[in-house]
Structure 1
Amino acid sequence: MDLLSAMNLFVRVVELESFTRAAAEQGVSSSAVSKQVAMLEQHFKARLLHRTTRSLSVTDIGDAVYHQCKRVLSEVSEAENLVAGLQGEPRGQLRISCNMTFGQQVLAKALPDFMARYPDVQLDVTLDDRMPDMVREGYDLMIRIKGQQLADSSLVARKLCDLPMFICAAPGYLAANGWPASPEELKQHNCLVFVHAENAHQWLVAEPGTSADPVEVDGDLKANNSVVVREAVLAGRGIANLASFLIADHVACGDIVPVFPRAAPDRLSAYAFYPTRDAATLKVARFIEFFESWLAEHIPQRLPEAGVEA
C-alpha cells in the first residue's frame, strides 16, 4: 500500500462525503478508493468510516486520523515545495477552478504555454460558474470575474487584469432598429443580458460631457453564458454589454460595432483567489505570475477599428 496515497484518498472522501466524488476527482474507480480506505483501516486496525448504501460518516477514531492525515500531507507538501523552491522550479499537481466562458475563451489558450514552460506541473482544471468551497474541494487556485468591489472573504485576491466592457450590436440590428442617440434610448431597445455579470441589468455609459449614470435595461434574452449572448448579437437580435475578449475579433471584421464608440468602457476584472498567503506555493505563485503577464499581452483594452486585427 502507498500510505500517502491512501491517506490522501481518505482525506478527500471525508471532505467530499462521498467515495464516488473522491474517485471522480482523483481519476480512479470508486472500488479503488474503497480498497485504499479499507487498507488504511487495516493499517490502523480501526474503523474510520461508517458506511451504508445511503450515508457515510466519520467515526471518532476516523476524525482523529483525518486531522492527523491532513497534517502529514501538508508537511509532505511543504517539503516538496521547499525542495522545488530551492531548485527554482515548481512541480506537482495544480488544481484550478475557473468560470466557464473566461476559461474556454482565455484560460484555455494560455495553458499550453504554461505547460511548456513548467513541465513538472500537472494541471487539473475545472470550468464551472458556481463558487466552489476551495478548501473542501481541494483547489489550489480559483479564477473569477468580479467588479471593482470585492466581497469580504477569507480568500486572498490578486487582480490579474482589467476586462473592459463594450455596449455593442450587429450593424444589421442598428440599421433595422435605429442607433441609440443617448444611453437613455437603450430602454427602447432589445437589450440582451448576461445574468452573471455584476452589471447585468445596469449598463454604465460614460460619454464625454455626460453624467455616467447606469441605465436599467431589459430584453427578450437573459443567459448565464456570455457566448450565448454574443451569438444572439451576431444574429442581429439586439444590443449587449460584453467584454472585449469576446467581441474584439468580430469588431475587427465588422460583424459587431460599438454602440457608443466615444464612451469610456465600464470595467470588470479577472482575479486569482487562493485560501491564505501561506497557501501561495511556488506552483501557485508561478502560475499567477505567468497568467498575469500573458493576459497583459492578450486581453484587448480597446476595440480595433473594422478591418484591423485586435
Structure 2
Amino acid sequence: MNTDDLALFIAVIEYGSQSEAARVLGIPVSKVCRRIALLEEKLGSRLLERTTRSLALTEAGEALLERANVILAEIDTLELTVGRMQQEPEGDVVIAAPIDFVNKLMVPSLRQFYDQYPKLRLKFLSYQSRQNPMDIQADITIFISQFSPPDSSLVGRKLASFQRGFLASPEFIAAHPHLTHPRQLVDYPCLMSPKGVKPGNLWMWNDGSNDHCIEVDGPIESENNGLCISAAVAGMGVVWAPLVMCMEEIHSGRLQLLFAGRYCCEVNTWGLYSYRRFLSHKVSLALDFVQREYQRLQQQVEQMAPEGLDIEAQGKRTSPES
C-alpha cells in the first residue's frame, strides 16, 4: 500500500471533501478522486459514503483512518528524528533533471548550496520530460513542458516559466531572407532537441488567436539542447530553444531571434515530488534551492531581453496549449 495514498485519504477527511483537499494540495480533483477509488479497490472495501454535500466514513474507512494516522505519524517522527532535528542535514537527495540545463545554468550556484549544507549530496539523474515521472526513482523530478505535469500521485510545485523561441545565426538568416514565418520551417534545416512531452521534431507556435504545430526535419536531433544551440551558432539551421539557455549567444550576436520574436512561447518548469504530509527536511531544502535558482534565471532572462523585444509579453500572448 502506498503511504502517499494514505496521506491523501487523511487529507480528504481533514478538509471535508475531495475538491477542497485538491484545492489545498494544488492537484486536480480528478487525481484525488482516482487515487481514493484505487485505494478502495485495492482494499476491496468502500471507505467513504459520498453525498452531494458531504463525505462520511464507512466502518472500514474509520478503521483505515485510525491506522493510517498512526503509520504516518510514526514515519513523520522518524523523518524528524533523522532529518529535521539534525543540526546539519545530511544524506543524498536524488534530482532527475535535464542535465544540460543544470550544467549550463545551475552549476555556479551549486557551490553556494554545498558551502551551506556540506553534508548534503545532490545526485543528478538525466531525465527528459517525455519519460513518465512515475518511472523515475528520484526525490525530485524536474518536469519541463508547455503543459501541466501528467496526472499521477506526484505533487507538482511550479518553479518558474521560461520562453522558447526560434533562433538562427546571422549568417543563416542573411542566406535565407525569405524565411518570414514558422510554417516555412518545414522546408528549412531544423536542429531538434528535447521539447518536454512532445517529440523533438514537433514545433509549435501561436499566431495570437490559434495554436499551430508543424513537423520539422534537419541534420541533427539530440537529447542535449546545448548541442543544437551550438550547431545553430555554426550556421547549420534553426533551433527552437529555451531563451534562458542561449542569452549569451543572443547578446554576443552569434544567434538572433527569428520573426522579430513574435512567436516565443511559455515553457513551464515543475518540481515533482511524492505527496506526504511533510517533505523530509533535506528534500525540502533541495527543492527550495532549485526553485530559487529557476526564479533567478527567469528574472535574469526578463531583464536581459534583447532590445525591442518584450519577452514576457510575447510569452503570455503566445503560450500554446496543444
TM-score by length of 1: 0.64
CA distance in 2, matches of 1:213, 1:196: 15
In the TM superposition, what are the counterparts of 1:201-212 in structure 2 within 5 Å?
201-207=201-207, 211-212=210-211
1:125 to 120, 123, 126: 123
Q: How big is the shift at 1:229?
A: 0.9
CA distance in 1, matches of 2:239, 2:148: 23
CA distance in 2, matches of 1:156, 1:279: 12
SS of residue matched to 2:259: coil
User: Is the 8 Å Cα contact of residues 156 and 277 (structure 1) preserved in structure 2?
Assistant: no
| 252 and 179 in structure 1: CA distance in 2 versus 1, 3 angstrom threshold | farther
Q: How big is the shift at 1:256?
A: 0.1
CA distance in 1, matches of 2:139, 2:261: 41
Q: Which moved more, 1:235-244 or 1:106-115?
A: 106-115
The answer for unaligned runs of 5 or more in structure 1 is 1-70
| 149 and 132 in structure 1: CA distance in 2 versus 1, 3 angstrom threshold | closer
Structure-1 residue corresponding to 2:218: 219
- The answer to whether residue 250 in structure 2 is matched with residue 251 in structure 1 is yes
User: Is the 8 Å Cα contact of residues 168 and 238 (structure 2) preserved in structure 1?
Assistant: yes
SS of residue matched to 1:175: helix
User: Is the 8 Å Cα contact of residues 144 and 271 (structure 1) preserved in structure 2?
Assistant: yes
In the TM superposition, what are the counterparts of 1:188-199 in structure 2 within 5 Å?
188-199=187-198
The alignment-based identity, stated in percent, is 21
| 127 and 262 in structure 1: CA distance in 2 versus 1, 3 angstrom threshold | same
Structure with max Cα Rg? 1
SS of residue matched to 1:277: coil
CA distance in 2, matches of 1:198, 1:227: 19
Q: How big is the shift at 1:244?
A: 1.3
CA distance in 1, matches of 2:245, 2:136: 32
| Structural RMSD (CA) | 3.1
The answer for unaligned runs of 5 or more in structure 2 is 1-72, 308-322
Structure-2 residue corresponding to 1:100: 99
| 156 and 217 in structure 1: CA distance in 2 versus 1, 3 angstrom threshold | same
Q: How big is the shift at 1:196?
A: 4.8
User: Is the 8 Å Cα contact of residues 251 and 304 (structure 1) preserved in structure 2?
Assistant: no
Q: How many residues align?
A: 231
CA distance in 2, matches of 1:216, 1:207: 17
In the TM superposition, what are the counterparts of 1:1-310 in structure 2 within 5 Å?
76-84=78-86, 90-119=89-118, 121-129=119-127, 131=131, 137=137, 139-199=138-198, 200-207=200-207, 211-278=210-277, 280-299=279-298, 300-302=300-302, 304-305=305-306
Letter in 2 for 1:101: D
TM-score by length of 2: 0.62
Q: How big is the shift at 1:94?
A: 2.4
